[in-house]
Structure 1
């Protein structure tokens, strides 16, 4: 297995992986309760977001035998907030989602709107997605993707923020130096508990800097 930079031509495959990996995620289930529709926002949003990787984000993928088996999407919090949200390409993505989601659309928008202020005041990097294919979990791929990105954050002297939606995710983040900064018991009525975590930059990176193509 190797970890390498994401390439736009991989967007469809990467989006499907994220949708499959988040199928049982409590926040994903709350956002789109209808199992038939649940993969749609993930597929459409991630496919377009990955294809249009903004100056405020970077993606790395774990590849084995020519297939993507894991993905990490990192975003710069401040740059992400200042990036033009009225980009016509992103507007097309929103329109496509609206048409496909139908009466589930208002709830999806409400959840995204409620999530937006959760990270207000944060600086540094946000780990906005960390996904491993269901057939390749529990063998260290998620940890490898985490170390790969955190080594870059340490070299840049950046803190890293993340949201977790299960106790297992919290445990995993803590093993990489994250601490809980806030517990969100009810983002909206019926929403699952979320944990906001932060990891300060280490004064000396414990891992060598990641290259564009890192064997693991």
Structure 2
């Protein structure tokens, strides 16, 4: 397994991986309760977002035997100035998604609207996606991808923020220096709890990080 830079031509394969990895995520289930349609928003959004990746974003992939088995996607708020969860260039896909999601569309929009202010006032990097293919979970590929990105943030001396959407993610993130800064018990009626977590800026060399391309043990 090696970790390498993402290429826009890999957007379709990477989007399929993110959709497969997040289908059992509590927030994803809440956003799209219908299991048959659950993967569509993630699949369509990430396929276009990764294809249109900007200098204010970064993405790295874990590759094994020529296949993407993991993805880590970041947004730099300092470069973006404000966190914009939906790139304006993606507006053309919303009509297609609305038609395929049907009556779940209004609820999906409401959730994204409620999430919009969560990162207001943040600086540095936001981890927008960390996904490992279901067939390759449990061997620290997610940890290798996260350490790879944190090493880059350390070089810039920038903090990193993320949302944990399942309780088991909290311990994993704490192992990498994150702490809970806010617990959102009910984003909307019936929504599962989510936890905003932050890792302060660390100067390179002050915390151990895996070298780029390292294979997890």
How many angstroms does 1:209 deviate by? 6.3
1:93 maps to 93
Q: CA offsets, 1:31-78, max 9 Å, x none? A: 100111101001000000000002321110000000000000000124
How many angstroms does 1:9 deviate by? 1.1
The 2-side partners of 1:215 and 1:118 are apart by: 33
5+ residue gaps, structure 2, are: none
What secondary structure does 2:115 align onto? helix
Matches within 5 A, 1:170-185: 170-185=170-185
2:162 maps to 162
2:9 maps to 9
2:118 maps to 118
The 1-side partners of 2:164 and 2:43 are apart by: 20
Matches within 5 A, 1:47-58: 47-58=47-58
5+ residue gaps, structure 1, are: none
Moved more, 95-104 or 148-157: 95-104
TM-score calculated relative to the size of structure 2: 0.92
Decide whether the 8 Å contact of 1:152 with 1:209 is kept in 2.
no
What secondary structure does 1:37 align onto? coil
TM-score calculated relative to the size of structure 1: 0.93
Decide whether the 8 Å contact of 1:61 with 1:72 is kept in 2.
yes
How many correspondences in the alignment?
212
RMSD: 1.8
2:194 maps to 194
